[in-house]
Amino acid sequence: MQKTETRLVVFLFFLTVMMPDTGNAQGFGGTPAPASVTWKQVNTDMVRVVFPKGYDSLANRIANVARVLGNETAETIGGKQKKWTIILQNQTTIPNGYVRMAPVMSEFYWTPGQNNFSNGSLRWDDILTTHEIRHIQQLSNFNNGFTRVFSFLFGQEGQLLSNGLTVPDYFMEGDAVWHETLVSSHGRSSLPSFYNGFKSLWLGNKEYSWMKLRNGSYKDLVPNHYPLGYLLTAYGYEKYGENFWKKVTNDAVRYKGVFYPFNKAIERYSGSSYRQFRNEAVQYFREKTLPQEIPSEPHFTYLTKEQKNNVVDYQFPHYINDDSILVTKRSYQEVNAFYIISGANEKKLRVRDIMIDDYYSFKNGKIVYAAYVSDPRWPVTRDYSVIKLFDIHTGRQQQITTRSKYFSPDINAAGTEILAVNVDIEGIVNLCRLDARSGSLLYKVPNPNKYFYTQTKYIDSTRAVSASIDRNGDMALVMIDLTNGAAVNLTPFSFGVIGYPFVKGDTVYFNASNQNADKIFAVSLKDKRIYRLTNNINGVYHPMVNAEGSLFVSGFTAGGYRLARIDHNNIKWEEFPSENFTLSNNKYYTSPVLKMPGTGALKLLNNNSLAAGHGENKENPVTKYNKSFRLFNVHSWRPIVADPEYGYSIFSDNVLNTFKNSAYYSFNRSDHSHTIGFNSAFGGWFPVLSVGAEKNFNRTVETTTGKSVRFNAVKFNAGVSIPLRFVNGRTSRFLNFGSGFNIEQFYFKDAGVDKLGTLNYLNSFLTFSNVSQQAYQHINPRWAQSLSLNLRNGFTLGNRYKFVAQSLFYFPGLAKNHSLVMDLAYQKTDTLKDLYSKTFSYTRGYEALSTRRMYKLGANYNFPIAYPDWGFANLFYIQRLRGKVFFDYTSAKLNDYTELKNRTAGAEIYFDTKVWNSFPLSFGIRFSHLLDTDMMNPGVKNKFEFIIPIGFVPD
């Protein structure tokens, strides 16, 4: 008779709440900078800016901006601005920044990005500072009321957890974007592209629920929490004044209302329901960004169709011949690749290498683009942007530069030379002319005006055109002499965004923001006359003109970027006075009659009449920063709850993220024993060094005669490892190997002897993975391999050894979003009793054994079931249901003559969800049908399990 057992399998997990612009510590090999970096500091009352040698002026600028903002705008969120440490990283090519709460620190990745329509024209360090300082102000004021209880119980992680429960991420980011624009007039909320997502939904008559807007979708385009948060935050300031959000957030972190305190506070201070407030905010910006009467499209002919349950982007069209267009295509189901479109047919050429910016150039069968390459040991803080050259006729691609920082490359008509923007680690920007065959530098074009160049195109062999940013944060289309660097303005400098130039004959076509949308313009090289070619409502980008003069663009829609054509007869060459480029545009972030503290605060620093050392431009002293400063920096503590063990752990990290420590105490309620211990790791050098110790008091063990014996134990470990990450081409490879020496001594209190013995062993390991790029809907990478090897070799108590090898192989399934995963494992030990922990991946459904020799074969087939996009009460939202069918086979050799086989066939259903509109949580139900007898539970044939996976990638 069969027996069915239901078992709850819940893996312990810790919910880590990060500010959405923030970066999580990636462990050693992640955020630490190379050991060769010499650090300096500017230390003020507001911030400590830690920076590489040579960045004195930039560090001073950041410190001065932080001081001005602390004086001018902190009051609008609570009045406090705690002192923060900001680390300036200059060797990465990824433009980013984050504020971290545990420990208190921030990192700015200095190299600016090339996508002007994402970043705007404001100088990159000001964008980072105005945004991240607002997060510092938020966190400085969000530790009040009941949140202090969280801080008392859990330290800085406690405040982070409480803030994540009470203040939604959309407010954190929306308020920071609002702050950018308030103090500079150049922030992201002044960019038309910032509203493309919502405008596409409104124009496409897409009405999504609030929970869908909050949590996103695997099948539909949904704007993220940045624009959503800005709509609500700006509306709150606009309608209810400067103190509205200060009062709302103060009540929320104090848990006034307990359940939904943030929503209740909005209702309290607005007099409207939370639903009504949301709807009014969205409607307010709908009226601001869309005209009252929606005209028809400006003679667009869409060449690509929208797809059901998918978002597809066709970008950067390039003319090949009368029948064919080259584009990049990516979707929720496919990674970014080069395609040739011929009528209704599409031909895939090649998946693009991993890159930061989608931009590329094409001439005479050659594609040139910049790709991302990581430094193996310091992959987050030092990486490169290298030039790749791809021949569409031969299918051959080559990398022509190494360890470079080249961006936005273009190739000349002859195919012999490449022009690229170079940003070196000293922050100097130049156009570089490179040999197209070898990648060697032919000539570095002078930059006397110190422009920041983006998206540059050849005009001819001696001239180029570039969307350029000056030192005031204004932008213009500039023609550059490639022999001496002399620049001629084709458009006047203004804070309006310009980009994506395309040269055809004596005309340069380009994108520019105008009247709340990014549109297509053209300028004549003969007489410098400017023309507006489109008057669209939502953004169209990447202009290209074919031999007949027809205009091709990528139009932003609710289904993604669609390829569109405007026949040459329908293009309206509307002359556009150059002075119109200098007119203010899209400044609907605040009402003209609303006087907000901090409005235009950056002008206190940008006023040229205020020389350094006068007014707000202070020359702060620069001093050496000692890498050993606050090596021990206790920031958080967590409870240990693993019945019957209960206790607390404390955590310490220095701000350079090179020295990590934890200490803990636990009490066992079953045998009344105690444990204390610590672990430390240093990652500031090429190898990672670790050490740890643990002391157990009054442990109890049962002897073979049934007698209880009490003992004490001491454990010590020391190890070394080398974590490496190789990102190059279309895959990411990870390699980590090392070894650790472990000592365990047992002192028996009741056995009449002082010490039973010592278990000394060496633990050596190697892990490797090779992972391809993954589209949004992919459950797993379509191609990936992983390998884990672990050998524990004892020197005492019989010299016990144990070897475990495990591997996973990922393959494409029958459909684009399906995945086949093969699971292999092997274990071998000696004939002595196994004293080591179990790491072998045993057949699912069985009680795991550990025998002399075991191997396992497993097959898993993953597939999506549905994308419900459904939730209730702002508590629980289901984005995706996915299934898995599996078969496991394990052979376990018990001795020289006995071999045990355990086989299982089963299925799993997983729910990919969001909890409280914030926390991603995947959980599932597993059914296992046991095809053999479980030695530990012989009556069980069917088993149900509830699973919360630890890993972020399903297997």
pLDDT tens track for 892-944 = 988 777 889 999 999 999 999 999 898 899 999 999 999 999 989 999 999 99
Give the start-to-end residue ranges of the domains of the chain.
37-141+607-625, 153-294, 301-582, 635-719+742-762, 774-955
Cβ within 8 Å of residue 592, ≥6 positions away: none
CA dihedral sign, ordered 83, 110, 34, 652: positive
Instruction: Check residue 837 and report its DSSP letter.
Output: P
Residue 535 near residue 570, CB atoms below 8 Å: no
From the CB of residue 617, how many other CB atoms can be counted at a distance below 10 Å? 17
Give me the residue label for tokens 């259903």: 909
Q: Is the dihedral of CA 508, 510, 513, 515 positive or negative?
A: positive
Q: Which two tokens stand for residue 222?
A: 């949904």
Q: What pLDDT is stored for residue 585 in this prediction?
A: 52
Q: Which of 597, 589, 595, 591 is nearest to 79 (CA)?
A: 597
Burial (Cβ within 10 Å: 0-12, 13-18, ≥19) of residue 118? middle
Tell me if 797 sits within 8 A of 771, measured CB to CB.
no
Label residue 106 exposed, middle or buried (CB < 10 Å: 0-12, 13-18, 19+).
buried
What string of H, E and C letters represents the secondary structure of 10-68? CCCCCCCCCCCCCCCCCCCCCCCCCCCCCEEEEECCCEEEEEECCCHHHHHHHHHHHHH
The CATH code that applies to domain 301-582 is 2.120.10.30
Furthest CA-CA distance within the chain: 103
Fold of 37-141+607-625: Glutaredoxin (3.40.30)
pLDDT of 16: 30
Q: Mean pLDDT per segment of 10 residues, for the chain of length 955 residues?
A: 34 30 38 88 97 95 96 94 96 95 95 93 94 98 97 97 96 96 88 96 96 98 98 96 97 93 98 97 94 74 95 98 95 98 96 97 98 96 97 98 98 97 93 98 98 98 97 93 98 93 98 93 96 95 96 98 95 90 56 73 70 63 95 96 92 95 94 94 95 92 69 93 97 98 83 64 96 98 97 83 96 97 95 78 93 95 98 95 98 86 98 92 96 93 86 35
Whether the CA torsion 425, 429, 430, 432 is positive or negative: it is: positive
User: Measured between alpha carbons, how far is 643 from 628 in angstroms, rounded to an integer?
Assistant: 38
Task: Give the per-residue pLDDT at 591.
Answer: 57
pLDDT at position 642: 85
Tokens 């901090």 label which residue?
Answer: 598
Peptide bond into 103 cis (omega under 30): yes
